[in-house]
Amino acid sequence: MATKIRAVASFTTAQLDKLTGRDQEQQKEKEKQNEQQVHDQREGAPSK
Amino acid sequence: MFSLELDTSEYEAFAKNIAGASEQMPFVLMNILNEAVFKARTTWIDFTWPRNVMIRNQAFMSAALRVDKATKTHLSARLFDSLGRDFLQRLAVGGIDRPRQHRTLAIPLKSWVQRTARGVPRSQSPSAIISNTPDRALRITDKGLFVGLGGRLNLRYSWKDQATQPKLVEFYEDFSYVVNETLRTSFGEQFMRAMKTARY
Answer yes or no: do B115 and B134 share one domain: yes
B84 and B131 share one domain: no
Contact B64, B83 (CB under 8 A): yes
Q: Are residues B176 and B90 in the same domain?
A: yes
Q: Does the structure show a pLDDT above 80 at B139?
A: yes
d(CA B41, CA B159): 36
**Considering the domain boundaries, does residue B64 fall inside one?**
yes
pLDDT for residue A47 is more than 60: no
Q: Do A10 and B76 touch (CB under 8 A)?
A: yes
**Interface list for chain B against chain A, based on CB atoms closer than 8 Å:** 1-6, 8, 11-12, 15-16, 22-23, 25-26, 29, 33, 36-37, 40, 70, 75-81, 84-86, 88-89, 92, 171-172, 175, 179
Same domain, B140 and B172: no
B54 and B21 assigned to the same domain:
yes
- Output the pLDDT for position A46: 61
The answer to the question of residue B4 being in a domain is no
Q: Is residue B2 part of a domain?
A: no
Range of the domain at B37: 9-96+165-196
Does the pLDDT value for residue A36 go beyond 90?
no
Kindly state whether residues B117 and B153 are assigned to the same domain. yes
Is residue A8 predicted with pLDDT exceeding 70?
Answer: yes
Query: Which chain A positions have a beta carbon within 8 Å of B92's beta carbon?
Result: 5
Q: How many domains does chain B have?
A: 2
- For range B159-175, the mean pLDDT: 94
- Give the closest of A2, A4, A16 to B29, CB-based: A16
Give the pLDDT of residue B162. 93
Yes or no, beta carbons of B88 and A15 under 8 Å apart: no
Give the ipTM of the model, two decimals please: 0.80
User: What does the buried/exposed string (b/e) look like for A6-45 if buried means 16 or more CB atoms within 10 Å of the residue's CB?
Assistant: bbbbbbeeebbebbbbeeeeeeeeeeeeeeeeeeeeeeee
B57 and B140, same domain (yes or no): no
Q: Give yes or no: residues B61 and B79 share one domain.
A: yes
Same domain, B60 and B85: yes
Domain presence at residue B1: no
Within a domain: residue B52? yes
pLDDT in tens, B62-120: 999 999 999 999 999 999 999 989 889 999 999 898 888 888 999 999 999 998 888 89
What integer pLDDT is reported at residue B140 of this predicted model?
Answer: 95
With CB atoms and an 8 Å threshold, state whether B76 touches A7. Answer: no
* B157 and B169 belong to one structural domain: no
Shared domain for B124 and B65, answered yes or no, is: no
